């Protein structure tokens, strides 16, 4: 079975102390993950070491950075490189989140470079893609995500592609309380997998976890994660509420 993943994206929320308490609460629920399940906490940079020590004794629980720079190193004041993340033992990094694309002007080409930086530094990138509302209303969502994959992932080898996690996040569903229907999610995830299959072969496509993101909550996670091509979720708002996120982890396929 492909890895089933519950990934929390805290964004720019919570103080260090609140974050520590939240992780204590979630880990304190003692949800035992199967070997095919993972939980990943994408926390703000200053909390990565705290997060690492929180999950140190927990099997299949990890921390992720929410971003990294697309260059190896240099005069980029305020930025953080994949190499720096690796040097403190971070093994996952969110790349190309729609908020980074929208507010920080990240392009598909830069996202491709970030993917390379991650892979060169033994970090699994959690690559985000997804369409805005106007794109969906124009019926262009499949072409839109196909272009995102083509421009950011198609330079990889099949072997490298197996080391990438994809998160499909329709922008109109992020933080809006509006969720894609299970039919919409399954249709898009199957489309993404077929693109991967065409480019990298079926066996690679079958091994890549594709998460759904966009207002995943405790009350819709099981239904969404139950879709054959949905391998868990990338969760924003609901990941900041311990009891909610615990239920979301519990909704992963077994
Ligand atoms: C996200 O931050 O990637 C996200 C999906 O947020 P939310 O769950 O709040 O919609």
CATH number of the domain enclosing 46: 3.20.20.70
Atom of ligand 1 nearest to the CA of 237: 9
List the catalytic residue out of 97, 106, 113, 244: 97
Distances (CA, A) of 53 to 27, 48, 61, 89, 90: 12, 9, 11, 11, 11
Picking from 211, 149, 174, 189, the residue whose alpha carbon sits closest to that of residue 99 is 174
User: DSSP characters for the chain?
Assistant: -PPEEEEEE--S---HHHHHHHHHHHHHT-PPPPTTEEEEEE--GGGHHHHHHHHTTSTTEEEEES---SSSSSS-TT---HHHHHHTT--EEEES-HHHHHHH---HHHHHHHHHHHHHTT-EEEEEE---HHHHHTT-HHHHHHHHHHHHHTTS-HHHHTT-EEEE--GGGTTTS----HHHHHHHHHHHHHHHHHHH-HHHHHHS-EEEESS--TTTHHHHHTSTT--EEEESGGGGSHHHHHHHHHTS--
User: Ligand 1: does its nearest atom lie under 6 Å from the Cβ of 93?
Assistant: no
Q: What is the mean pLDDT of the chain?
A: 97
Has 159 been annotated as catalytic? no
Share of the chain above pLDDT 70, in %: 100
Could you list the residue range(s) of the whole structural domain that residue 174 is in?
Answer: 4-250
How far does CA 174 lie from the centroid of its chain? 13
User: Ligand 1: does its nearest atom lie under 6 Å from the Cβ of 232?
Assistant: no
pLDDT band with cut points at 50, 70 and 90 for residue 7: very high
**What is the distance in A from the centroid of ligand 1 to the CA of 226?**
19
Atom of ligand 1 nearest to the CA of 233: 5
Give the Cβ contact number of residue 237 at 10 Å.
Answer: 18
Atom of ligand 1 nearest to the CA of 9: 2
pLDDT band with cut points at 50, 70 and 90 for residue 111: very high
79-104 confidence digits (pLDDT tens): 999 999 999 999 999 999 999 999 99
Query: Using CA atoms, how far apart are residues 65 and 15, in angstroms rounded to an integer?
Result: 16
Task: Locate 101 and state its tokens.
Answer: 């694309």
**What is the distance in A from the centroid of ligand 1 to the CA of 93?**
16
Among 171, 214, 217, 224, which residue has the most ligand 1 atoms within 8 Å of its CB, making it the best to mutate?
Answer: 214
Which whole number is the average pLDDT over 104-125? Answer: 98
The per-residue pLDDT for 178 is: 86
User: Ligand 1: does its nearest atom lie under 6 Å from the Cβ of 214?
Assistant: yes
User: Ligand 1: does its nearest atom lie under 6 Å from the Cβ of 169?
Assistant: yes
- Evaluated on CA atoms 195, 197, 198, 201, the torsion sign reads positive
Query: Using CA atoms, how far apart are residues 243 and 101, in angstroms rounded to an integer?
Result: 30
22-77 confidence digits (pLDDT tens): 999 999 999 999 999 999 999 999 999 999 999 999 999 999 999 999 999 999 99
168-204 confidence digits (pLDDT tens): 999 999 989 888 899 999 999 999 999 999 999 999 9
Beta bridge partners of 62: 40
Q: What is the domain count for the chain?
A: 1
The per-residue pLDDT for 122 is: 98
Atom of ligand 1 nearest to the CA of 128: 3
**What is the distance in A from the centroid of ligand 1 to the CA of 76?**
28
């Amino acid at each position: 079975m492909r890895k089933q993943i519950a990934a929390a994206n805290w964004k720019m929320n919570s103080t260090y102390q609140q974050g520590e308490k939240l992780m204590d609460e979630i880990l304190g629920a003692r949800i035992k993950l199967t070997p095919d399940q993972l939980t990943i906490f994408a926390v703000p940079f200053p909390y990565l070491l705290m997060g690492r020590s929180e999950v140190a004794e927990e099997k299949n629980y990890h921390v992720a950075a929410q971003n990294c720079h697309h260059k190896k190193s240099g005069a980029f004041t305020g930025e953080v490189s994949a190499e720096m993340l690796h040097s403190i033992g971070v093994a996952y990094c969110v790349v190309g989140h729609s908020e980074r694309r929208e507010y920080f002007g990240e392009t598909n080409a830069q996202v491709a470079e970030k993917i390379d930086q991650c892979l060169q530094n033994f970090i699994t990138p959690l690559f985000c893609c997804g369409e805005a509302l106007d794109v969906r209303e124009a019926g262009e969502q499949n072409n839109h995500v196909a272009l995102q994959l083509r421009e950011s992932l198609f330079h990889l080898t099949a072997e490298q592609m197996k080391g990438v996690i994809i998160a499909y996040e329709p922008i109109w569903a992020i933080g809006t309380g509006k969720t894609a229907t299970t039919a919409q999610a399954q249709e898009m995830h199957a489309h993404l997998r077929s693109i991967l299959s065409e480019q990298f072969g079926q066996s690679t496509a079958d091994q890549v976890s594709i998460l759904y993101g966009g207002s995943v909550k405790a009350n819709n996670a099981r239904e969404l994660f139950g879709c054959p091509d949905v391998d868990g979720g990338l969760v924003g708002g609901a990941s900041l509420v311990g009891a909610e996120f615990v239920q979301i982890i519990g909704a992963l396929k077994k």
